[in-house]
């Protein structure tokens, strides 16, 4: 659906904000000074007879649930498992983790990029690192798709890969590095830790031709978005949780202006709409210009439930975001996640793990690339 983690965003484009950007954001968003009180008022209206609002910032004891084990697959499909590299490269996951931490402290936006890369890779046929392939030798890169606009930091995937290759040559797949980086990136953003299965192999082909049909976009109907997630085994509750990745990052104005021009979307908070018009002053922004809005002005680099609180206050940035509140199927989950950050994290973990296990391929049809950008030479 943010970098631009688009749904066709995990749409958001993100990085550690500079001091000047922070000052600019604070200056332009003074109307949010009383945001927390307004949010609590709104939530009290939603839950007039409950104590959820008083408890929404308090930790709760929740039981972490992981995705169901991958079942036996037909030929060409891989069966993932925990600690897949325990014998062939026992330090693989720790190497990836340390690289993710190092890169985050140098380039904070990388953590958001890893989540978005997983989404854009796994939603299109398979979690097989096909999105990393460059256009060469007859391959047309998925990076050229309009739905992958604004994605970046691919070069740092190879930084991680190089570190793993030094320890264990030709052993750990790029697809597993994409998955593990997303897992560890979520932790760097304040999200939950997850035990993730590995054993994916890398695709030998691009799936560019399938992207438009398989990857949901920021202005699609909620019915369509739910159907696309259902196709990879994620239910409505999980869809609401995964879209919570929009709590971090930023969105290019190209993906916003349809809600601002020629008329403002009536579901937008008027003050918020005025702020967005200052950020996106032109109805036809240049995709190459640095014109964007952060998805969450209060905790812009924290994977938390502020996203859902914003939706309840009609400050959803993208059309697909605000539809979560207006749709009768997804609305109850929005309200519950707005009131309980632990519940959001639990459901986010569950859904991300399901997504990370979508249709993995094995060595019969895939490989372990030496360089994540290119298919291995025969």
pLDDT digits (tens, 9 = 90+) for 235-267: 999 999 999 999 998 899 999 999 999 999 999
* Second-level CATH architecture of 27-58+78-356: Orthogonal Bundle (1.10)
**pLDDT bucket at 307, cuts 50 / 70 / 90:** very high
Of 3-17, 25-39, 60-74, 281-295, the one with minimum mean pLDDT is 60-74
Convert the pLDDT of each residue in 142-178 to its tens digit.
Answer: 999 999 988 889 999 999 999 999 999 999 999 999 9
Residue 150, pLDDT score:
81
3 state SS of 202: strand
**pLDDT bucket at 75, cuts 50 / 70 / 90:** low
Of the candidates 253, 232, 210, which has an alpha carbon nearest to the alpha carbon of residue 6? 253
Q: Which residues are catalytic?
A: 120
Is the pLDDT at 9 greater than 70? The verdict is no
Burial of 294 (0-12, 13-18, 19+ CB in 10 A): buried
Which residue is associated with the tokens 């200052």? Answer: 278
3 state SS of 152: coil
Residue 256, pLDDT score:
92
Segments making up each domain of the chain, as ranges: 27-58+78-356
Is the pLDDT at 348 greater than 70? The verdict is yes
Is the pLDDT at 229 greater than 80? The verdict is yes
**pLDDT bucket at 352, cuts 50 / 70 / 90:** very high
Q: How many CB atoms lie within 10 A of CB 135?
A: 13
Q: What is the rounded distance in angstroms from the CA atom of residue 120 to the CA atom of residue 214?
A: 10
% of the chain surpassing 70 pLDDT: 80
3 state SS of 361: strand
Residue 378, pLDDT score:
67
pTM: 0.81
Upstream peptide bond of 4 is cis (omega within 30 degrees of 0): no
Packing angle of the helix pair 35-46, 331-339 (nearest 10 deg): 130
Convert the pLDDT of each residue in 30-73 to its tens digit.
Answer: 444 444 444 444 434 433 333 333 223 333 333 333 334 333 34
* Dihedral class, residue 94 (left if φ above 0, else alpha if ψ from -120 to 50, else beta): alpha
């Amino acid at each position: 659906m943010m970098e631009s983690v688009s749904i066709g965003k995990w749409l958001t484009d993100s990085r550690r904000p500079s001091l000047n950007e922070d000052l600019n954001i604070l200056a332009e968003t003074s109307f949010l000074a009383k945001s927390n009180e307004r949010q609590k008022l709104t939530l009290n209206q939603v839950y007039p007879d409950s104590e959820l609002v008083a408890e929404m910032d308090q930790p709760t004891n929740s039981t972490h649930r992981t995705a169901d084990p991958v079942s036996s697959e037909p030929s060409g499909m891989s069966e993932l498992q925990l600690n897949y590299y325990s014998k062939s490269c026992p330090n693989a996951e720790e190497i990836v983790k340390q690289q993710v931490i190092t890169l985050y402290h140098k380039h904070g936006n990388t953590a958001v990029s890893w989540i978005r890369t997983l989404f854009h890779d796994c939603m299109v046929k398979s979690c097989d690192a096909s999105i990393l392939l460059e256009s060469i030798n007859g391959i047309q890169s998925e990076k050229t798709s309009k739905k992958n606009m604004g994605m970046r930091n691919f070069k740092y995937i190879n930084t991680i890969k190089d570190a793993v290759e030094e320890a264990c040559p030709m052993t750990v797949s790029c697809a597993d590095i994409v998955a593990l980086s997303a897992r560890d990136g979520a932790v760097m953003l304040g999200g939950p830790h997850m035990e993730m299965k590995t054993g994916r192999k890398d695709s030998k082909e691009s799936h560019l031709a399938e992207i438009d049909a398989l990857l949901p976009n920021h202005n699609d109907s909620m019915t369509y978005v739910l159907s696309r997630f259902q196709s990879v085994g994620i239910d409505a509750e999980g869809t609401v949780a995964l879209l919570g990745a929009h709590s971090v990052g930023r969105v290019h104005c190209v993906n916003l202006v349809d809600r601002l021009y020629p008329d403002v979307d009536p579901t937008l908070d008027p003050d918020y709409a005025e702020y967005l018009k200052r950020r996106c002053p032109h109805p036809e922004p240049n995709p190459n210009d640095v014109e964007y809005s952060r998805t969450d002005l209060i905790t812009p680099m924290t994977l938390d439930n502020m996203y859902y609180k914003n939706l309840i206050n009609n400050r959803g940035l993208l059309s697909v975001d605000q539809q979560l509140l207006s749709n009768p199927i997804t609305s109850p989950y929005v309200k519950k996640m707005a009131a309980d950050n632990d519940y959001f994290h639990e459901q986010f973990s569950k859904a991300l793990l399901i997504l990370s296990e979508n249709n993995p391929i094995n060595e019969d049809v895939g490989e372990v690339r030496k360089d994540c950008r290119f298919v291995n030479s025969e």
